[in-house]
Amino acid sequence: MRSDLLHLAGGFHVARALYVAAKLGVADLLADGPKSSAELATATGTHRASLERVLRLLTCAGVFSQDDERRFGLTPTSMPLQSNAADSLRDVILFQLGEEAHRAWGELMQSVRTGATGFEQAFGAGVWEYRAHHAHYGELFDRAMSAVAATHIEAVLAAYPFAAFRRVVDLGGGIGTFLIALLSAHHAMHGVLFDLPHVAASARQQIANAGLARRCEVQTGDLFAGVPPGADAYLLSRVIHDWDDTRARAILQNCRRAMPQGGKLLLLERVLPGAPARSPAARAHLVSDLNMMVMNGGRERSEEEYRTLLAASGLGLVRVTPTTTEVSVLEAEPLQG
């Protein structure tokens, strides 16, 4: 229907309005109760009438509410927009809809025409190089990924039997959100967080704050150069989807070299369905796939594509364990011979 198509086109405008509200911290300002557009404009240093128009659209979308006195308030949808909420998604919104992503997605047509990432077209550098040289963006990425991890940690821990492992290496583990939860749930387990040097300081602080410094060390390095040897389980949480097949194989082959016989490799990833379905979950998978293309040059994959990729890296896919979230646990082990 024509209205359905127009509704899809309007998603761009709602997303930009949502970014403005997140950037301005509107949800934080509403934490103690409803406020008028004049009060919010004064607090944010913005033009009252223009801000009100943004908030009206977001109210229509269910993000905010408006009372009889035309004051704006929080709804269950906007509660996670608060920066100090336990389930805060503000950093995720700022990362996914921020200026870097906006400019990169503006190059989507060039990505489609050339196969290059939109990010590199927009900034003249790959996303990882850019993050390493722009601390604010790198730190926002780490916080956003930590918030994303928090949405599936409980489900992953409930779905997969981690208790069998004594030493787990979390490769590309960021600031340690998942590994901290894993070690907190399994008191006999020891962990190694492995990531780039510019992430290490924040990771060490988070681990120390959790009281896990004795059971968890932080090592720095490059996944493409090698990974720490000798663990009985290696974890890659939403890492492989960042890379094309060639680069993904290089990481997986380094894991294979480091793993002892009997060791396990666990990938926490979305798994694409065999054919697109009209469901929120399928849409989220395919949006993420396109985002990987534009931002990183990576992709989401089906179970069969993961099986093929792992086999080319000397690893066999043993099982895929779904969770109650969009993430599944793909368990692999070294192939014999």
Q: In this predicted model, what pLDDT tens digit does every residue of 162-211 receive, in sequence order?
A: 999 999 999 999 999 999 999 999 999 999 999 998 888 889 999 999 99
Mean pLDDT of all residues belonging to the chain: 95
pLDDT tens per residue, range 256-284: 999 998 999 999 999 998 777 778 888 88
CA torsion 136-142-147-148 (nearest 10°) is 120
pLDDT surpasses 70 at 92: yes
pLDDT at res. 28: 98
Q: What is the mean pLDDT of residues 99-107?
A: 97
Strand partners, 330: 267, 320
Taking CA atoms, 176 is separated from 101, 222, 280, 328, in Å, by 24, 17, 29, 19
pLDDT at res. 261: 87
| Overall pTM surpassing 0.85 (yes/no) | yes
From the list 133, 152, 186, 241, the catalytic residue is 241
Per-position DSSP letters for 79-94, written without gaps between them = GGGSTT-TT--HHHHH
CB-facing half-sphere around the CA of 16: CA atoms within 13 A = 10
pLDDT surpasses 90 at 7: no
The identity of residue 140, as a single letter, is L
Q: What is the mean pLDDT of residues 39-45?
A: 98
pLDDT at res. 178: 95
How far is Cα 278 from Cα 158, in angstroms, rounded to an integer?
A: 28
pLDDT at res. 337: 63
What CATH class does 148-334 carry?
A: alpha beta
């659209």: which residue's tokens?
57
pLDDT at res. 65: 97
| Rg of the chain, C-alpha, whole Å | 21
Percent of the chain with pLDDT over 90: 88
Number of helices and strands (H, E) in the chain? Answer: 15, 11
Q: Are 165 and 234 in contact (CB under 8 A)?
A: no
Per-position DSSP letters for 154-187, written without gaps between them = HHHHHHS-GGG-SEEEEET-TTSHHHHHHHHH-T
Q: In the chain, what are the domain boundaries?
A: 2-84, 89-147, 148-334
pLDDT tens per residue, range 277-325: 778 888 888 999 999 999 999 999 999 999 999 999 999 999 999 999 9
Tokens of 283: 């849409």
Categorize the per-residue pLDDT at 98 as very low, low, confident or very high, splitting at 50, 70 and 90.
very high
Told to judge if 198 belongs to the known catalytic residues of this protein, a careful annotator would answer no
pLDDT at res. 69: 95
Mention every residue, 6+ apart, whose C-beta is less than 8 A from residue 259: 231, 234, 265, 334
Q: What is the mean pLDDT of residues 1-23?
A: 92
DSSP 332: E
Q: In CATH, what is the architecture of 2-84?
A: Orthogonal Bundle (1.10)
């849409």: which residue's tokens?
283
